[in-house]
Amino acid sequence: MSAHKPLSIATINFKGGVGKTTVTWCLGVVLQEYRNTYTLMFDLDAQMSLTETIDLNQRKSEYGIILEDGRLKYIDPYIVNRARAIKEQNTLYHALKQYSIGSNQGILDLLNYGVFRIQKRLYFVPSTEELYWAEFEIGQRHKGFISDLMDELSHHPSMPKFGVALFDCPPSFSVLSYSVLLYCDIILVPVNPDMFASRGVGIFLSALKRRIAPDPLPKVVVFMNKTKTYDSMPTSESRAYMRDGDRLCRRLREEESIDVWFLSHAYIPDRAAIKRSLPSGSFPKELEQPFIRLWNSLLEIANG
Ligand SMILES: Nc1ncnc2c1ncn2[C@@H]1O[C@H](COP(=O)(O)OP(=O)(O)OP(=O)(O)O)[C@@H](O)[C@H]1O
Ligand SMILES: [Mg+2]
């Protein structure tokens, strides 16, 4: 058992483009800026959207020196450490691969060299594209990987005491998402205001439940992202989709015994400024209140 378990939240929806990566990023920044919480953020998606954007916004300078053979050697510490971690295979993929043959050494190497402090209280574990092939090479049944990784982390001398762990999951079922589902406290599902959202979430949650049975699904929280607003309030169309979402969650609770909640009051509006937040490594001030409301609702459900 871990000495200290951070509140762990996996952002998942099998529908692409709903805002999983953006919401994970914004929550990480809100937690460290407004809640003084040490947060560990994982990119588990082989598409590497979060990783590639963080790699860009962490690059403090293009400063490098030209070697005799004409190659450019970067001396920016983030770039150097990232490049070293990849070269020396201190990545999630290699940790998982070693774990699959019974060794925790890969997890220790990842914790020593492959976790990056990207803001004062925000730490990051990048993805690698090799995760695409993990299913074929490693197989699906490595249930304990994330739990053992987090356990090692809680004892690691150079890691802070994380209050929260956020996992940005791919829009498909992967060996890593399986392991995260068994570990996390909350599955966070962003949906967009469109007519397929409720149906899609119903199918996806029933499938997840069957997929990890006999293990139970953790609590599930569904909320609307990219909510259309008028005069700072959801439009009547967005409200209608929220009611659909709420009805769906009630049905899933009653008929499928899934512990799922729809957040009718903690939605994230559709705002162009959010598109610039991740690429610039920042957070749009105008979305501070919606994200704080989202966080408070998550805490209430986690503790309730
Ligand atoms: N609240 C919002 N308002 C406006 N645009 C948004 C909002 N949330 C996300 N977006 C935009 O929607 C697009 C998709 O977002 P994102 O990449 O976070 O989705 P995703 O679910 O992680 O996608 P994938 O399934 O490919 O991993 C991005 O261009 C992002 O900037
Ligand atoms: Mg994504």
Q: What is the pTM of this model?
A: 0.94
- 196-215 pLDDT tens trace: 777 889 998 999 999 889 99
- Percent over 90 (pLDDT), the chain: 67
Mean pLDDT of 145-174: 93
Residue 74 has pLDDT above 70, yes or no: no
Q: What pLDDT does 208 receive?
A: 92
- Residue whose CA lies nearest to ligand 1 atom number 28: 275
Other beta carbons within 10 Å of 12: 27
What mean pLDDT value characterizes the chain? 90
With a cut of 90, say whether residue 160 has pLDDT above it.
yes
* Inter-residue contact 242 to 234 (CB < 8 Å): yes
pLDDT per residue as tens digits for the range 248-300: 999 999 999 999 999 999 999 999 999 988 888 888 889 999 999 999 999 99
User: Residue 297 half-sphere exposure, CB side, CA atoms within 13 Å?
Assistant: 20
What are residue 168's DSSP bridge partners?
11, 43
Q: Which atom of ligand 1 is nearest to the CA of 270?
A: 3
pLDDT band at 68 (very low <50, low <70, confident <90, very high): confident
Q: State yes or no: pLDDT of 2 exceeds 60.
A: no
Residue 24 Cα: closest atom of ligand 1: 18
* d(CA 42, ligand 2 centre) in Å: 12
Beta bridge mates, 165: 8, 40
pLDDT of residue 70: 73
Ligand 1, atom nearest to 272 Cα = 4
pLDDT value of residue 27: 95
Q: Which residues line ligand 1 (CB under 6 A)?
A: 16-22, 45, 47, 49, 171, 225-226, 268, 270-271, 274-275
pLDDT band of residue 116 (cuts 50, 70, 90) is very high
| Structural domains for the chain | 7-303 (3.40.50.300)
Kindly state the average pLDDT of the residues 32-44.
91
d(CA 101, CA 145): 12
Determine the pLDDT at residue 52.
Answer: 93
What pLDDT was estimated at residue 1? 45
Q: What's the whole-number mean pLDDT along residues 41-49? A: 95
Please report the pLDDT score of residue 99 as a whole number: 92
**Measuring from atom 10 of ligand 1, which residue has the nearest CA?**
19
Q: Is the pLDDT of residue 229 over 60?
A: yes
Mutate to test the pocket of ligand 1, among 22, 41, 189 (most ligand atoms within 8 A of CB): 22
Ligand nearest to the CA of 24: 1
For residue range 76-101, list pLDDT tens digits in order. 778 889 999 999 999 999 999 999 98
**Enclosing H/E stretch for 288:** helix 288-303
